[in-house]
């Protein structure tokens, strides 16, 4: 099942047209941790995350990306399916 989930995530990233990121950013909510957003364009001050799921909660990960974006003066984009229930 992990490969199915991973494949769905990769498909979502392709459909969103993002540039895949591998750089870590510090977690604002827990400084002992880090995050790797799906897209990080520092020159454009943009952080993006793709969630190719049926249901999505306001997770700690999303809250962390929002807090980081606010702290750094960036825009945070969240890509979901049209049918995703928030």
**Which range of residues forms the domain containing residue 12?**
2-80
pLDDT grade, residue 67 (50/70/90)? very high
pLDDT grade, residue 5 (50/70/90)? low
> Is 36 among the domain residues?
yes
If you average pLDDT over residues 54-83, what whole number do you get? Answer: 97
Angle ∠(38,44,49) on CA atoms, nearest 5: 20
Task: State residue 30's pLDDT score.
Answer: 95
Q: Is the pLDDT of residue 1 over 90?
A: no
> Is 41 among the domain residues?
yes
Task: State residue 2's pLDDT score.
Answer: 63
Q: What is the mean pLDDT of the chain?
A: 91
As a whole number of angstroms, the distance between CA 19 and CA 37 comes to 11
Q: How many domains does the chain have?
A: 1
Whole-Å CA distances, 62 to 4, 19, 77: 22, 19, 10
């Amino acid at each position: 099942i992990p490969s199915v989930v991973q494949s769905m995530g990769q498909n979502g990233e392709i459909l969103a047209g993002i540039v895949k990121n591998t750089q870590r950013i510090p977690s604002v909510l827990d400084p002992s941790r880090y995050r790797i957003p799906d897209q990080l364009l520092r020159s454009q001050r943009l952080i993006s995350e793709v969630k190719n799921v049926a249901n999505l909660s306001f997770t700690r990960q999303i809250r962390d990306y929002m807090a980081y974006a606010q702290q750094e003066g960036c825009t945070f984009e969240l890509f979901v399916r049209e049918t995703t229930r928030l």
